[in-house]
Structure 1
């Protein structure tokens, strides 16, 4: 498995060292008696190469090509073979005095193009030049290996080109430091992440079943029981703590990959790395991290059933004490396979937590729902870091793209599960308290919070007609409200909050409604905050109740969280968002009013239902009204009286 589509091998070296002869001997499998000054570019099809990758072999001749052409070819090459003649000390010396410095000058001092040293004409000598090459390999990190061969006898010809191909597909420099004789820090980091993903029960050991799954995922082949025992025996003989309770530890896992590379089996480690999305620089590739989620205007993004199941599995994996919450340490461990912690300190005031302010499973899933709605590329990227692909083909299967909201409105039904509510109001009306109330927090609890860690979002589940939906509250910055255009106010439901004790508070709500929501199809609810205190008359031409009646809005909803938070207002907002076409019927059933108001409005209910077009309303709501509205109203009337 390789990220390369093809491999381009460039042969350079002094005149007469046998570059052209090597190419022609490979192609014809015999030594050419007449050798041209330069061989034409050769393309070897993928099906005849060991790595199944098309390979282009390019010859350079100083007789036919100038230095500009050489630099062009160097820039295009994936690997450079510096050919020298084993019986020519000058050509050997020029490796370090000219060719390697020249490559660095052209490609950069820290260039990543691998170099193979190729000693040709071994048929002319009885001894090897490998000892001479070792210091060069140590001094120049870009030199992958050295191969001695003979174009005349065909010795090691195919091996030479195989090593060149291998240097491109499985480069050593990125994964192994030959001077230190250990894995590079970047490779250790990548393999550690892979180990954590494959350690499904988070016990820091790869048990046999976990190793077998790893083997199938990376190599698409089972690992025979005896082979696994042999691997464990090698680890036991060479290091301590590599095997614990008959399972492979992280230390043992890293040792095995070090051993693979030292024995020339770079491809084993690279196959593992590439199976987990790493590129030639041992970094997670952009394509792996960020497959594009195709969305359309008016659609939203949510977690699919597969995505939710995966996230629950990850939660359970890192919930060490099985208390249904993630402590700060457990949360850090959960995201340890990510380069940075994706959640800030405000997350604990965005979702539900326990008495220790630790995130619950409900809050954990809610935060993922929030991110998926507002920033789906970030969700997709973090799913990749967490190892979603180890269980599924692509992160895209974790995402559901909903249909255009206009279609939902026209058809009067929706399959969406996450709804966004803009909360607007002047400073000091109680918007933050209203948002925290969505998490079940009263004023006493809110007073203990660090105001710097409060979020402009809160999200929680709400029951809407027996179905669990997410309601995301978004506190809109009051300084931006007047500057926002209608398209920027595109939410599922709007909540206009005013302070019932401040006579100038409602004026802002009225202006916001007339500017942003009057001509839209966005359902709007007016909320009177701080109703635990004595209300005052609002300095506006209409009372809040008159305003709502004039514009056919639900009556103002009272809200107080001085002690126990009343959840009815959040249920109402979620229901209005999910069923915007039912706003008149819904507000009557959900907002507690006095009996006289109900008697006045009930006479219009029949007209409301009958005016709806054919569809689920006439079937679902019609049946519900006929069968149950009497009982519902009876209970409301009793409470009101």
Structure 2
């Protein structure tokens, strides 16, 4: 089917009335047409239907069984086949020839079967009641003897209908069935052989029942049922009609229980023949099972609808040929014809600017808070395994991203091991930050578009409408708040909300430059930060992560092989709350540090060492030198030097204030004579270090903009002198040029030091410039700043501004003095 047109191909043997059916449909009258004539394609425009699934036009294609090549070509282009027969001979050929031909062609199209020329059947004599009874029995025999066997044998046959082109009987209905076979197919929903809904349809309807059960009590009360109908069909309900629906469900369930009862009785008789000694016991057990089944299948004592009753209601719709109603429900909840959720609904397209991150919006946090409260049935402030399973029932299960990092070990739990509300929100904050598409998918699965109705609803304010409307309808609740529904904002009342409304896109991260090094600008609109924990094996990173989640220290050492993440909330100074993600890289540390995309997701590097191990800090020095400096790499666009300038003139380089010509020759030889200038160096200059002190071999040329924080762990043990060229504080201040930073010393047994560390990490992530290596001016041997160029530029700007201001004042005074004269 194209987006606007349905192609209906009319097939059948000669002289069954194919062309006559088309003319009767179009002209509304019967026309005699020669047998050899084939009508040209006829397009029928859309009627007054407002359904978005009604096609703009329907194209009727007449065919001849003699021209097999043309017939098969049209069938391959068809959306639905209208197969016509008119007598016993042509009826037999439907199964022996036509259906076999369709299958041999490899097409899987819906087929609408029409028994034409019903006017040739015996007519009903209204004056004779006996004749009327015989006519009815004749119609029933046609359905039983002709239609039912074909429906059971060929799943492609969607529906069957008797019609007459001569009397214009059921012609419009047959045409409608052809349209419906494409727009509202029955084959995905109902299995005529099993006489039941298909498993995928049952699964989808169970999810819909789950989402509509707002108070999660296992029943659809009147308000919940009416809200579902209002949402799906936008119509009000008659109170008597609602009671009739409940009555139909109850009677159908009784009939189903009776059939199950008979089957159990037959099985019981067989068992009795095999074992007469247990006859009485078996009969008693059967009776007890039947009674319990009947009780469970009743609507319930409050006359509410159970899940099984809701499935039975839709089964009744399918059996009575009203599967448009089922599709109306399914499509309201974004199901496609394959009974899978629409991909555009689960993951709507969102444009994420470069260097921006995605977080939950206030509405998103409110939705997850409501979910937590709704499924915390025991009100213990935590979600246990059973409650989590119930919560994720309408979804594919716990997200794969969570399973990769061993949820719930990734977040905060209480003493019983249940996920707390703090941990629940932190987990979703981390998920949104790392992979917002996963959050969007689960928002769709969990029914976020109805986020305004996530609390208990009361059974009141049912409107008694006198409109005689049959079907499945809802109450038009204007006073939604009075019915117990939670509304996020008045503007969201009774409106569908896109899942993208639950997300917030932060401003793009900006890069600044200072001392010819880049750093990230301060941010104030983000609340989720990602921190990499780096350090040698056994230095205490895992214990730090456990302490971050409030867990006790364990003496057992377990090396981290695969990457591990934990997340928790941190309260900043001033009361603002943010979420911090700590990630230990494990054996994948080299690969991740060499991946620029992974580093872009990192907001801060926490470099950890064991303060009681004299060899621990050496690992960090080698790590920084290997991955975060340009000393061991070829000069590229990100290369920067400390010292004098090389001026780029049309791709050729001249030197100024070069202390040694050999230095320039060495520089050119290092890059084979080709130097690439970083676009971010506004003057196109490269800086070369001309400092001949002992620090010359230790200064690094930093090519990244991630802030660093150094942490000495196990501070409760004796502090050891590090066996390396520089001690931690000396290395931080002198080599990394972080003159306002020192190494923090924390211990799992010092809670206050841990809190201060996590707070410091968040503050550094918000203001990265003060902890980014190379941004501050380097220190000389006496510990004083050597940033001459930067200080000189600042002094010149201040001096120039002052001179300009004094000049303006002087001119103004001079003009005023002239004016007075």
TM-score, with structure 1 as normaliser: 0.84
Residue 566 of structure 2 corresponds to residue 469 of structure 1: no
Which consecutive residues of structure 1, in runs of 5 or more, have no partner in the other structure? 585-599, 602-606, 612-641
Give the 3-state SS of the residue equivalent to 1:47 in structure 2: coil
Rounded Cα–Cα distance in structure 1 between residues aligned with 2:100 and 2:745: 78
Please name the residue that 1:557 is paired with.
744
> Is 1:405 the equivalent of 2:512?
no
Q: Given the superposition, is the C-alpha separation of residues 21 and 407 from structure 1 closer, same or farther in structure 2, using an over 3 Å criterion? A: farther
SS in 2 for 1:420: strand
1:81 matched residue in structure 2: 82
- In the alignment, which of 324, 331, 343 is matched to residue 267 of structure 1? 324
What is residue 606 of structure 2 aligned with on the other side? 495
| Residues 565 and 582 in structure 2, CA contact (< 8 A), matched pair in contact too | yes
Partner of 1:579: 767
Report the CA distance between 1:9 and its aligned residue. 1.9
CA offset at residue 427 of structure 1? Answer: 2.1
Distance 2:37 2:510 in 1: 71
Identify which of 104, 121, 125 aligns with 2:121. Answer: 125
Query: Counterpart in 1 of 2:809?
Result: none
- Which residue number corresponds to residue 524 of structure 2? 414
Is it true that 1:144 corresponds to 2:158 in the alignment? yes
Report the equivalent of 2:664: none
Please show how residues 106-125 of structure 1 align to structure 2 within 5 Å.
106-107=105-106, 111=108, 113-125=109-121
Q: 2:737 and 2:225 mapped to 1: Cα distance?
A: 64
CA distance in 2, matches of 1:425, 1:451: 12
| Distance (Å, rounded) in 2 between the aligned partners of 1:383 and 1:334 | 12
Moved more, 189-198 or 285-294: 285-294
The correspondence for 1:459, drawn from 567, 570, 575, is 567
Q: CA deviation at 1:305?
A: 1.2
- The 5 Å alignment of 1:392-541 reads 392-406=496-510, 412-444=522-554, 447=556, 456-465=564-573, 466-481=575-590, 484-490=594-600, 491-514=602-625, 515-516=627-628, 518-541=702-725
What are the superposed Cα offsets for residues 279-336 of structure 1, whole Å, 9 maximum, x if unpaired?
1122222222222232121011111111111111111111101111001100111001
Q: 1:64-75 alignment to 2 at 5 Å?
A: 66-67=68-69, 69-75=70-76
Cα distance in 2 between the residues matched to 1:506 and 1:216: 66
Q: How many residues align?
A: 585
- Whether the 8 Å CA contact 1:422–1:476 is kept in 2: the answer is yes
What whole-Å deviation, never above 9, does each CA across 1:363-420 have from its counterpart, x for those lacking one? 1111111111111111111111111123343211111111211179887432111111
Structure 1 segment 37-116 matched on structure 2, within 5 A = 37-48=37-48, 52-62=54-64, 66-67=68-69, 69-84=70-85, 86-87=86-87, 89-107=88-106, 111=108, 113-116=109-112
**For the Cα contact (< 8 Å) 1:19–1:59, is it kept in 2?**
no
2:414 equivalent in structure 1 = 354
Contact 2:563 2:586 in 1 (8 A): no
Q: 1:501 to 1:75 in 2, by over 3 A?
A: farther
Contact 2:20 2:32 in 1 (8 A): no
Residue 232 of structure 1 pairs with residue 246 of structure 2: yes
2:303 aligned residue (237, 243, 246): 246
2:11–2:65 Cα contact (<8 Å) kept: no
Distance 2:181 2:730 in 1: 78
Aligned twin of 2:282: none
With over 3 angstroms needed to count, the CA separation of the structure-2 counterparts of 1:75 and 1:401, relative to structure 1, is farther
Q: 1:509 to 1:411 in 2, by over 3 A?
A: closer
SS in 1 for 2:158: strand
Instruction: State the secondary structure of the residue aligned to 2:220.
Output: coil
SS at match of 2:47: helix
TM-fit CA distance, 1:209 = 1.7
Aligned to 1:532, what secondary structure does the other structure show?
A: coil
Q: Is the CA contact 1:75–1:107 (under 8 Å) kept in the aligned structure 2? A: no
Query: Cα–Cα, structure 1 residues 3 and 536, in superposed 2: closer, same or farther, change >3 Å?
Result: farther
Conserved? CA contact 1:493–1:577, under 8 Å? yes
Change in CA separation of 1:407 and 1:26 when aligned onto 2, cut-off 3 Å: farther
Which sections of structure 2, spanning at least 5 residues, go unmatched?
123-137, 254-293, 452-495, 513-518, 630-701, 773-782, 785-789, 795-821
- Are the aligned partners of 2:553 and 2:748 in contact in 1 as well (CA < 8 Å)? yes
Do the aligned partners of 1:418 and 1:470 also contact (CA within 8 Å) in 2? yes
Higher-Rg structure is 2
* Larger RCO (CA under 8 A, 6+ residues apart): 2
C-alpha separation between the residues in 2 aligned to 1:360 and 1:314? Answer: 12
Shift of 1:473: 1.1
1:170 aligns with 184
Specify the alignment match of 2:256 in structure 1.
none
TM-score normalized by structure 2?
0.66
Q: CA-to-partner distance for each residue in 1:517-574, whole Å, 9 max, x for gaps?
A: 7333321101112222223232322111111112233211112114647211111111
Q: State the Cα distance separating 1:41 from its structure 2 match.
A: 2.5
Q: Is the 8 A contact 2:569 2:580 kept in 1?
A: yes
- 1-structure distance, mates of 2:587, 2:157: 62
Q: Give, in angstroms, the shift of residue 31 of structure 1.
A: 2.2
1:324 to 353, 358, 381: 381
For the structure 1 residues 65 and 417, does the alpha-carbon distance in structure 2 shift closer, same or farther, using more than 3 Å as the test? farther
Equivalent residue runs for 1:152-191 within 5 Å: 152-191=166-205
Whether contact under 8 Å (1:442, 1:564) holds in the other structure is: no
Tell me the SS of whatever aligns to 2:408: helix
Q: 1:196 aligns with which of 210, 233, 236?
A: 210
